[in-house]
Amino acid sequence: MKNLQLNYNTKFNNFIDVPVRSLIFLFKKLKVFDLFQKFIPDNRAKKGTYSIASLIMVALQMLLFRSASKNEFYQNKKLGRAYAYKNIGKLAGIEEDRFPHSKTLDNAFLNLNYSSLEPILFKLFHFLCVSKLFNNHPSLKKNGSFHLFIDAFVSHTYYPESQHPCEACPYCLKRERRTEEGVKTWYLHMNVVASLIFENGFCFPLYLYPVKKKKSWNALSENELKQECEMSALLFVLQKIRSYLPKIKLTVLLDGLYANQVALRLLKQFHCNYYIVLKRLSSVQEDFNGLPKQEKIRHIASRRFLLTQTALFANQICCHNESCNILEFHEYAQKKSSKRFAKVHQKYVRYQWICSKNIEEANIFAHCTEARSRWWGEDLINSLKNRGFHLKHDYSRHPYSQGIWLHLTFIAFALTSLLELCDFGILSRKKATIQAWMRQMLQDLFYLSYECIFLCLYPKQLRFSLWMNAG
């Protein structure tokens, strides 16, 4: 930390004691307000006092600062302090000494379409490419390819007595279960998210696809419903990503559901490499077991375990009339002797994947590392649900306004991830948790004067570092 601080000029000292300055600088360099102003049309009959971009920025602040609800944000007693309204208003692009009411947000979002927020994440990713983040840190890419993870998750659950128009909502998937008391009914909002994941833990969401309901899905089980949602969304997700990013190399990481002919053809059509978990294709597994395989073993000493890894592979195996490669990985971990008590002393894992890339003995463990990195995508949804973003909370009960809040949640997650990678972000965070760090920024807006926060010297360049994830 000290070495990082000494390598830069004194302007970086401005971010150590006042963390909110790092967020202001990030907004400024990424031009977040300008992006909202450019892509989100104002369809209101009466324009009102506040622009749409300012109202979107206010909602984004609630999510960035980890407010559990709109009421919690507005009922905060510290919001009535002399500097509070002026500071958070300035951060939202409001020049006057005023701040919009929560009902103003609700009324404005009723006239918006969530699809207008789709380009924002792609534009932020384009900024990362232009700023040479991936050129300066080649470890973020493997062989010049980005890793794309696609998965479905449930954002909201409603019941017939909930204050939400379940029957009229186009995104409410009806579920029923017979019990002794009768038929229990509830509704789910299923979404499919495509995000870029990197082996150092950095995760960047790209596209969110809300799944619309179909009556034919009502009789499906929970697992079958999730599978149908993921498969039906695959074509739309790949089309949308290729429309924004037609030239970049993509390696898609998928679970065993996509090991079928339709998915393999779609991935080939959109020029995507892939690693797909091999679970259900018994015929392919039998072919793999019956063929001569090349094997390689290595031993690794991690911080707490002694690892013995074995990798096997076979190329050119027929899978749904497509030629694929099969990769198998075994890992046995034995805990090192220590005085520290631990419940897990040894563990064993085994994986199999279908691969589009040709596998060689020299790079077999590199393929295994790429395929296993899909775990970071699973951790993305866990972070949104359990680490301060309150993904399951409905900031609005209107079906279309919910899409606005949901997209803003992913934008807030992306901005937080970028803030963690910035050099000045590392300095201002120190050893605090991410949630405490963001809440400290809100405290700065409440207590510090306008001049102290906004009228200070800022660096000219936005620089990123991977030291934050080195451990």
Would you say residue 5 has pLDDT above 80? no
Are residue 357 and residue 456 in the same domain, yes or no?
A: no
8 Å CB contact between 363 and 143: no
Are residue 348 and residue 404 in the same domain, yes or no?
A: no
Tokens read off for 97: 């000494």
User: Which pLDDT value is given to residue 329?
Assistant: 92
Question: Among the three residues 319, 342, 363, which one is the final residue of a domain in this structure?
Answer: 363
Are residue 38 and residue 109 in the same domain, yes or no?
A: yes
Are residue 101 and residue 22 in the same domain, yes or no?
A: yes
Element spanning 289, H or E: helix 282-290
Work out the percent of the chain whose per-residue pLDDT is above 90.
30
Are residue 106 and residue 13 in the same domain, yes or no?
A: yes
The band of 84, judged by pLDDT with boundaries at 50, 70 and 90, is confident
User: Which pLDDT value is given to residue 77?
Assistant: 61
Are residue 408 and residue 353 in the same domain, yes or no?
A: no
In a domain, 329, yes or no: yes
Domain of 449, in residue numbers? 2-114+399-469
Question: Among the three residues 344, 363, 382, which one is the final residue of a domain in this structure?
Answer: 363
In a domain, 307, yes or no: yes
As a whole number, mean pLDDT of residues 300-315 equals 86
User: Other CB atoms closer than 10 Å to residue 463's CB: what's the count?
Assistant: 14
In a domain, 343, yes or no: yes
Are residue 37 and residue 90 in the same domain, yes or no?
A: yes
In a domain, 354, yes or no: yes
As a whole number, mean pLDDT of residues 164-188 equals 88
In a domain, 164, yes or no: no
User: Which pLDDT value is given to residue 341?
Assistant: 57
Would you say residue 237 has pLDDT above 90? yes
User: Which pLDDT value is given to residue 315?
Assistant: 85
Tokens read off for 404: 């606005």
What are the φ/ψ torsions at residue 434 (nearest 5 degrees)? Answer: -65, -40
Are residue 349 and residue 404 in the same domain, yes or no?
A: no
In a domain, 321, yes or no: yes
Count of domains in the chain? 2
Are residue 358 and residue 405 in the same domain, yes or no?
A: no
As a whole number, mean pLDDT of residues 194-213 equals 89
Residue 157 burial (10 A CB sphere; 0-12, 13-18, 19+): middle
User: Which pLDDT value is given to residue 190?
Assistant: 92
Are residue 344 and residue 427 in the same domain, yes or no?
A: no
In a domain, 158, yes or no: no
8 Å CB contact between 365 and 309: yes
Question: Among the three residues 319, 346, 363, which one is the final residue of a domain in this structure?
Answer: 363
Are residue 56 and residue 7 in the same domain, yes or no?
A: yes
Would you say residue 241 has pLDDT above 60? yes
Mean pLDDT for all residues in the chain: 85
In a domain, 43, yes or no: yes
Tens of pLDDT, residues 348-404: 888 889 898 888 888 899 889 888 888 888 888 888 888 788 888 888 888 888 899
User: Which pLDDT value is given to residue 416?
Assistant: 92
User: Which pLDDT value is given to residue 12?
Assistant: 62
8 Å CB contact between 62 and 428: no
Tens of pLDDT, residues 9-26: 445 666 777 889 889 989
